[in-house]
Amino acid sequence: MNQEENKFPLIGDKFPEMNIQTTFGIKSLPNDYKGKWIVLFSHPADFTPVCTTEFYSFAKRKDEFDKLNTELLGLSMDQVFSHIKWAEWIKENLDQEINFPIIADHGNVAKKLGMLHPNNGSNTVRAVFIIDPNGIIRLIMYYPQEIGRNVDEILRSIKALQYSDKNKVAMPENWPNNPLLKDKVIIPPATDVNTANKRKDEYKDSCYDWWLCYKEM
């Protein structure tokens, strides 16, 4: 597989337009999701144990994604029939409906998104793409096959991106539970001398230095 076939998009790139077959019918990405955030996540294969725990957790917490105006999309290089049967198994055996579409990929989507690694054969890696309402890729996470994802972190990331976009601030580590700043947010650093000189006076007790100032949410 050469580099041309297995591309890796970057944060800030426009998500490539494509038509996809899913368990909920044919969809157009990202056009069918204008105005929505998207979490697109790939898994190595249907009927595998770690993937089953992940899909169960995503489906269990779909209402939390709904409240954040966010749609879920799963993906693996399995036929749509396999996806449907796996979703049925999860519902029958774990009492959880898979309430979001799963993309049936023959490799075209995975190659465009860099989800195929040479040592994994035809299995996609555990990738996560967070795409904003304008179709821009805002966050990418990659996990190895043996480690399941953390749905809490994906939800936290969406909340942080949305708050940052709305308020033009940056978010500290593990916001809103940062050990230094708690749930406070970071004011973008000054980019000129005059602003830097005024910064500590402007924010008084909420600066460690001109380049590290914060404020309440």
Q: Which of 20, 29, 39, 51 is catalytic?
A: 51
Return the C-alpha torsion angle 100, 111, 86, 151, nearest 10. Answer: -50
In this prediction, residue 120 carries a pLDDT of 62
| pLDDT greater than 60 at residue 79 | yes
- What span, in angstroms and rounded, lies between the C-alpha atoms of 19 and 81? 18
Are the C-beta atoms of 123 and 15 separated by less than 8 Å? Answer: no
Handedness of CA 25, 131, 89, 126 (dihedral sign): positive
For the sheet containing 185-187, what is the strand order? 185-187, 212-215, 207-209
Give the architecture (CATH level 2) of 168-217: 2-Layer Sandwich (3.30)
The pLDDT mean for the chain works out to 93
Q: For the segment 171-210, what is each residue's pLDDT rounded down to a tens digit?
A: 999 999 999 999 999 999 999 999 999 998 888 889 999 9
Is 51 among the residues known to form the active site? yes
Higher pLDDT, 110 or 6: 110
Q: For the segment 161-182, what is each residue's pLDDT rounded down to a tens digit?
A: 999 999 999 999 999 999 999 9
Phi, psi of 197 (to 5 degrees): -65, -30
Are the C-beta atoms of 28 and 19 separated by less than 8 Å? Answer: yes
| pLDDT greater than 60 at residue 5 | no
Every domain of the chain and the residues it spans: 18-149, 168-217
Give the architecture (CATH level 2) of 18-149: 3-Layer(aba) Sandwich (3.40)
Q: For the segment 138-154, what is each residue's pLDDT rounded down to a tens digit?
A: 999 999 888 999 999 99
pTM of the model: 0.92
| pLDDT greater than 50 at residue 3 | no
